[in-house]
A and B are shown apart, each in its own frame.
Chain A
Amino acid sequence: MAKHVPKRRVELVGKGVTGACIALVALLVVTLVAMVAQRGISTFAVDGINLFDFLTGTTWNPHQDDANGMPTVGALPMIVGSFSVTILSTLVALPIAVGSAIFVVEVAPGFGRRVFQPLIELLVGIPSVVYGLIGLTVIVAWTRDVGGMLGQNITGYGIFSSSIVLAVMILPTVTSLSIDALAAVPNEYREGSYALGCTRWQTVWNVVLRSALPSLMTAVILGMTRAFGEALAVQMVIGNAAQIPSSLFTPASTLTSVLTMGMGNEAMGTVYNDVLWSLALLLMAMSLVFILIIHLIGRKGARKHG
């Protein structure tokens, strides 16, 4: 009886301790966004580089001054590179992911739950550097060899190889989210369609896919977020040439690859370093945009379903 702690204090402490945990995480995220933004903005605010020139400039050569006496820091090659690999890899991964999700949910649910989903989870767990290494030793080499056979003299590095590597990387993420999306469609919908005499494919196409569309879109965008932000695997296979890519098979670079390569080499406070932080800010801003889109889809879905 004597050492008994009053319940109200227990509850207050519990609430306080757990609340502190979440406050700590929230604070860290805010700090992260604020610090990266502050460093990224200083390129324009302190160093006086024109934001518009930065976003549209096609030449990236920070060690050389341009006509205005400013370092040549056009980020367009990286922006184009990042978007190209993201979109291409999504286009490759999407049909495969949704196709296998349909198979697993509609055709063979038992196989899906016991075999396919655990294997897909395994694929999620494979580290990105391992994907990068396979890309480097297999995909790049194959691309080069096939190019050579077709009489093209290419290195194998570039957007094509990066997109293939990224497609394999985001495939498990998109697949398992698509499986969740399809599995969440109420069975009554399917039964209603079958009761009207529709075939399985008609049911899937007209009923299941349609009602799972918002969740499928969320799955795709989460996959794109991952592809856009992936650094090392891409850096290993893209060739790292800061130029506007003239084809899918010429070396290029992305925001992440330039950051990975450059950040360690430049001293803090130089213009080059500041510009790298601006690239990081751009990367972060893009991720935030993806999150915003997911939120909007979610809200629209919620409104539709009352």
Chain B
Amino acid sequence: MAKGSGNAAPAPASASAARGFDMAAHVRRINAQDKAATVVLTLIVGFVLLILAAIVVYVLASGAGKLFDLGFLTGKPQQFKEGGGIGPQLFNSFYLLVLTLLISVPISLGAAIFLAEYAPDNRATAIAKTLIETLSSLPSIVVGLFGFLFFVLYLGWGFSIIAGAVALTMFNVPILVRVIQQALENVPRTQRDAALAMGLTRWETTIHVLLPVAMPAIVTGIVLSAGRVFGEAAALIFTAGQSAPMLDFTNFDLSSPACPWNVFRPAETLAVHIWKINSEGVVPDLEAVSNGTAAVLLVCILAFNLLARLVGKLLERRMTSE
């Protein structure tokens, strides 16, 4: 902006007019420019907030009818007739989330502790870091295809919850590693030094001193990542599959496809359900079902977001006040 601003306007008579530069006009101009820029920026932010509000309101409003319909939330999905529910999908989504977190949290914790506390400053560490970063920017469909190739076909797990959970783990680990590593590195150095100077190992230092301090940030990160796992679909269509056998909660035969806890049964989730019914188009009340499912999905994500904030704040308060 400053370049070219000097001799642009033909200056009226003033003290600096001799040099071909009208200071007063220049100041007026840059001030007007500044005001205009602020107005434009404000409009942009308003626009973004409007989009956000529109999305949330639209999804919730168009799915509102189904959102509180117990028959829809627990019912059986239908293919060629109206009134299908999303009972199995809802359960599958949560079960898959829990399994994914059970696998990905310990692995991420270990990897993050290694990177933050042990990692020697050498080539191997640099390569490992690059690989994790690579994983974080690979498209989730590629991760899903790999899951299909390796877990579903090569290891012979078939379309199954466990294959889906492992694919989602690959998707989730890089996010978690970054959050946990950051949280550990944000703990003041003095805490680490004090524990090490007492002859404690890095392991004891990390587990008993650093992790408790870093816990609020870690928990917030885990819950936020849970929201993303919950809504992921591309990594699942070829791993956890696109069919949802009706579940029988009295069945505890772990090899039966109707047993909810059987990890080797195929399991369509809410997000996959939305995609599948829209791409197949054989459900007559397609719009109502997919809007309802989207609303349920969004409510869950909103809940995860609120929960993350709440839990983080609560933990923080408990730790500083006790």
Contact = CB atoms under 8 A, between A and B. Distances in A.
Nearest to A127: B231
Interface residues of A, number: 89
A14 B142 CA distance: 33
A25 B107 contact: yes
Given A175-B48, A268-B153, A259 B145 contact: yes
B192 interface: no
Contact of A130 (B37, B142, B177, B294): B294
A293 B309 CA distance: 34
Nearest to A197: B27
A107 interface: yes
Nearest to B33: A201
Interface string B104-146: 0011111101110110000000011011111101111111011
B301 A126 contact: yes
B110 A290 contact: no
B1 interface: yes
Interface string A59-87: 00000000000000000000000000000
Contact of B233 (A30, A32, A121, A127): A127
Contacts of B294: 129-130, 133
A15 B33 CA distance: 58
A126 B45 contact: no
A122 B34 CA distance: 31
A298 B280 CA distance: 44
B305 A231 contact: no
A96 B233 contact: no
Dominant SS among interface residues on chain A: helix
Contacts of B200: 7
A184 interface: no
A107 B33 CA distance: 15
B132 A126 contact: no
Contacts of B275: 129, 132, 232, 235-236
Contact of A99 (B30, B45, B113, B135): B45
Contacts of B287: 137
Contact of B278 (A36, A236, A260): A236
A280 interface: yes
A125 B224 contact: yes
B146 A32 contact: yes
Nearest to A24: B107
B41 A100 contact: yes
Interface residues of B, number: 92
A204 B34 CA distance: 10
B96 interface: no
A298 to B, nearest CB: 10
Contacts of A124: 228
Which of B31, B52, B139, B206 has the most chain A CB within a 10 Å cutoff? B139
Contacts of A132: 274-275, 278
A103 interface: yes
Contacts of B118: 14-15, 18-19
B297 A21 contact: no
**Interface SS of chain B:** helix
Interface string A1-33: 000000100110111011111111110111111
A211 interface: no
Interface stretch (A143-151, A221-229, A243-251): A221-229
B76 interface: no
Contacts of B110: 17-18, 20-22
Nearest to B135: A29
Contacts of A280: 141-142, 145
A291 B137 contact: yes
Given A29-B132, A125-B228, A171-B48, A99 B40 contact: yes
Given A125-B224, A133-B278, A231-B139, A25 B302 contact: no
A41 interface: no
Contact of B305 (A31, A121, A288): A121
Given A32-B143, A199-B31, A202-B2, A13 B138 contact: no
A264 interface: yes
Contact of B137 (A20, A126, A127, A222): A222
A21 B107 contact: yes
A109 B155 CA distance: 52
25 contacts: A7-B200, A14-B201, A18-B114, A20-B110, A21-B107, A25-B107, A29-B131, A32-B143, A36-B149, A96-B48, A99-B40, A124-B228, A125-B305, A126-B301, A127-B232, A128-B234, A129-B233, A130-B298, A132-B278, A134-B59, A137-B62, A202-B2, A225-B137, A232-B234, A235-B275
Interface of A: 7, 10-11, 13-15, 17-26, 28-33, 35-36, 39, 95-96, 99-100, 102-104, 107, 116, 118-130, 132-134, 136-138, 168, 171, 175, 198-202, 204-206, 222, 225, 228-232, 235-236, 256, 259-261, 263-264, 268, 277, 280, 283-284, 287-288, 290-291, 295
